[in-house]
Structure formats: C-alpha cells, structure tokens
C-alpha cells in the first residue's frame, strides 16, 4: 500500500509578467491534503532579485485560477496505485477565488539566485493542511521581470 504522496510541477516556464498563482492545490470534496514540499528555481539569472511570495488557504466555495496548466500528479511511492484526488494548477494568471476567505497563512521572500524551498518539518503539526474542498495557494502578488522558472509541489492526501 502506498503512502498517498503525490508531486507535480512545471519546467522552464516564464513567471512574473503578471500577478499569478504559482501553485494552487484544490482538495477533493471527500478528503483533505497536507503540504510536504514546494520548490522553485530560476534559470539563467545573474543578478540578485527579491521576489515576494504568499501562501494562502481558501475556504467556502473555492475555485482554482485559469490561464496556466494542470499537470497530472504522479505518486512519489511506486507502490501507490491510486490516482491523486487533488487537482494542481500551475502559473494561473487569473487567480484563485473563494466565497468565504482566501486567508494569508505565510509570507516569504525568494532571492532568485538561489532555489526556494518550503519544506515544513516532518511532524504532522508543522505542515499546512487543507480540509476537503479547500484550496492551498502559493502566489506571486506583484509583477516582476519575467523569469524562467521550474518548480514542483509535493503533498499527501489525507483519508
């Protein structure tokens, strides 16, 4: 039996020419999810630049944004035979919405000369959790000089 940990992302995509959701993960109606790892790295950057990032949680009736891609998640554990129930969107230029709240959970700065990793501790209480039908979003709240970026999101689906 697998651990129900999945990952998906994008490779060499332009990011930053618009305010956008870099990742938005929508949990299915019957189960939640726990964020294990978000990773970003920029290609060909030679000058330092600080990029502002925000992590948000959406509650109520939620919807992922549009204008990006919806990659197919793959299991991290090769023994996992179930398809992911969560839906991941990457680089949506029309941002996610929620009828109740899009609550700011965390704020970060990314120096694009180095990779950016959001990797909470292995203890369950350290990891962000979204309940069934909730949304987890990593967004870029301001326009920056377009940068070629690769990244992935890894999460565990909860029973």
List the domain boundaries for the chain.
5-147
The burial of 41, by beta-carbon neighbours within 10 Å (0-12 exposed, 13-18 middle, 19 or more buried), is given as middle
* Residue 71 near residue 151 (C-beta atoms within 8 A): no
Q: Which residue has the tokens 């970060």?
A: 108
pLDDT tens per residue across span 28-87: 999 999 999 999 999 999 999 999 999 999 998 888 888 899 999 999 988 888 899 999
For 124-143, the pLDDT digits (tens) are 678 999 999 999 999 999 99
Please measure the distance between the N-terminal and C-terminal CA atoms of the chain and give it in whole angstroms. 13
């Amino acid at each position: 039996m697998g651990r129900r940990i999945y990952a998906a992302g994008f490779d060499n995509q332009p990011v930053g020419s618009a305010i956008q959701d870099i990742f938005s993960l929508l949990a299915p109606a019957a189960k939640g999810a726990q964020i294990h790892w978000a990773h970003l790295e920029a290609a060909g950057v030679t000058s330092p630049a600080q990029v502002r990032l925000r992590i948000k949680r959406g509650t109520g009736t939620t919807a992922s944004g549009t204008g990006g891609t919806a990659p197919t998640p793959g299991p991290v554990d090769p023994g996992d035979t179930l398809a992911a129930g969560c839906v991941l969107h990457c680089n949506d230029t029309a941002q996610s919405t929620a009828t109740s709240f899009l609550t700011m959970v965390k704020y970060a700065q990314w120096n694009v000369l180095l990779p950016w990793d959001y990797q909470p501790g292995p203890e369950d209480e350290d990891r962000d959790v979204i309940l069934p039908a909730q949304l987890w979003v990593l967004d870029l709240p301001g326009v920056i000089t377009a940068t070629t970026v690769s990244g992935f999101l890894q999460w565990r689906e909860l029973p």
